[in-house]
Amino acid sequence: MNRSHWTQWPSWEALTRDGQSTARLALAWTVRSVVLVVLLWTAVTETGVARWALVVAPVGLIVCAALAWGYHRTTLAQRLWPSLGLLAALMVMAVLAHRVGFLGPTTVLWCGCVVSALERMPLFAAIPATAVALAGFASVNKDPWLTTAVIGAGLCLSGYVLRLDAEARGNAQRLLAQERAARVAEAESAALAERSRIAREIHDVLAHSLSAQLVHLEAARLLIERGAERDQILERVVAARGMARDGLDETRHALSALRGQMTPLEDVLRELAAPEGAVLTVEGEHRPLSAEASQAVRRVAQEALTNVRKHAPGAKATMRLAYSADEVALEIRDSGATRRHGDLTVSGSGYGLLGMKERAELLGGTLRAGPYEEGFLVTLKVPV
């Protein structure tokens, strides 16, 4: 045993009744009731006791009960000297009971002091107190010395077993409290993560779409003020309308994802690839993805195809979706531009690859983009 084991009090959870089962509480109160009945019975049936002692006996019983209650409270508060003082007072009551002839109550008091000292106090104080109580018990016990020794050993063992049992119960209570706190913290963390995800969805879907619409509408306003031709103004308005329509579609997709109503990833990629004439290849066995991971794959595909349309007109794009044991990989590559750049104000999603890279890193994945042969290659990997 190390030093702290000798000086350490039983934990508050071990000494209190909190967390005890109904059966344990019933057993404890049954034991207390039996002890009280024994005290009363032995006091009443004791022979050779003066009449005045029988009159004072109820007062002594009340005093012993008050001392025991105070000892319970001071040990619960881990106050050493008051606890020793109250235990000593109980021993004094045992001596007084023996002096007036109450041998039965004296024995019960000495035995209770032995058990309670080992159960509720630090060992460095409990052992001397137990020794004193055992000596008092041996002085009043009329059995042979071997029987007295066996009873004393049994009392010590009972007190220490009760101590170990209380410590085990206290440890279980602390672990349960820690588990509950961990669950609360986990729930709060999950709520914060969900709020962050919703905030990112709102930002990605609405902020970019609305800002792009504002650009086109502002351009239309300036064209009107300058008296530009109708076709120029109409072109800007149509572009803004297209972005509004795309933003509305994106909002619906985002809301479906937040509700967990995800369209299969392969179907979404085919829908994105069809207007661009891209070819999609799926490899490996389908594995479920989280809603956020699926959204990240879809948005990276959308942004990459938009960049191909903007910056590599006429290029042929291919997509490869590969499932493996622990991750899913998406590759989008193009063959390079085959004609000059057209109007770069084509309606797009507004999502930058830099933002997609940050989103992939939040999911524990990676995103790489750069030239490849004559074209451009975007590779996304996210854990499943």
pLDDT tens digits, residue range 162-207?
Answer: 888 888 888 888 888 888 888 888 888 877 777 776 676 666 667 6
Query: What's the structural domain count of the chain?
Result: 2
Q: What pLDDT was estimated at residue 243?
A: 77
pLDDT at 332: 92
**What is the model's pLDDT at position 81?**
93
Quick check: is 28 in a domain?
Answer: yes
Q: Residue 131 CA to chain centroid, in angstroms?
A: 46
Query: How high is the pLDDT of residue 165?
Result: 82
pLDDT 10s digits, 74-98? 998 889 999 999 999 999 999 998 8
How would residue 40 be classed by pLDDT, with cut points 50, 70 and 90? low
On whether the pTM is more than 0.75, the answer is no
Question: Residue 258 — very low, low, confident or very high, per pLDDT cuts 50/70/90?
Answer: low
In the sheet with 279-283, reading across from the earlier edge strand, the strands are 279-283, 317-323, 327-334, 375-383, 366-372
Dihedral sign (CA 137, 142, 146, 151): negative
Q: Distance between CA 311 and CA 342 in Å, rounded? A: 9
Q: Which residue has the tokens 């193009």?
A: 334
Looking at the domain assignment, is residue 276 inside a domain?
Answer: yes
Q: Is residue 230 part of a domain?
A: no
Per-residue confidence (pLDDT) for residue 67, from 0 to 100: 93
**pLDDT score at 24:** 65
Residue 328 belongs to what domain range?
263-384
Task: Give the integer Cα–Cα distance in Å for 173 and 335.
Answer: 65
Residue 209 has pLDDT above 80, yes or no: no
Domain stop point among 142, 162, 180: 142
For residues 295 and 301, is the Cβ–Cβ distance under 8 A?
Answer: no
Give domain status of residue 250, yes or no. Answer: no
Cα-only R_g, the chain: 41
| Assigned domain for 174 exists | no
Is 165 a domain residue? no
Looking at 117, 142, 167, which one is the last position of a domain?
142
Q: Average pLDDT, whole number, for the chain?
A: 81
Please say which residue of 142, 169, 196 terminates a domain.
142
Model confidence at 345: pLDDT above 60: no
pLDDT value at residue 92: 93
Question: Which range has the worst mean pLDDT, 46-55, 122-131, 224-233, 325-334?
Answer: 46-55
Using the predicted structure, report yes or no on whether residue 261 has a pLDDT greater than 80: no
| pLDDT of amino acid 347 | 42
Q: Is residue 148 part of a domain?
A: no
Please choose, from the candidates 351, 288, 359, the residue with its C-alpha nearest in 3D space to the C-alpha of residue 323: 288
Specify whether the CB–CB gap between 341 and 313 falls below 8 A.
Answer: yes
User: What's the CA angle centered on 89, arms 84 and 94, to 5 degrees?
Assistant: 125
Using the predicted structure, report yes or no on whether residue 348 has a pLDDT greater than 50.
Answer: no
Flag whether 187 is in a domain: no
CATH classification of the domain holding 377: 3.30.565.10
Pairing of the two strands 327-334 and 317-323: antiparallel
| Cβ contact 46:104 at 8 Å | yes
- Identity of the amino acid at 228: A
- For residue 306, which of 374, 352, 340, 338 has the smallest C-alpha distance? 352
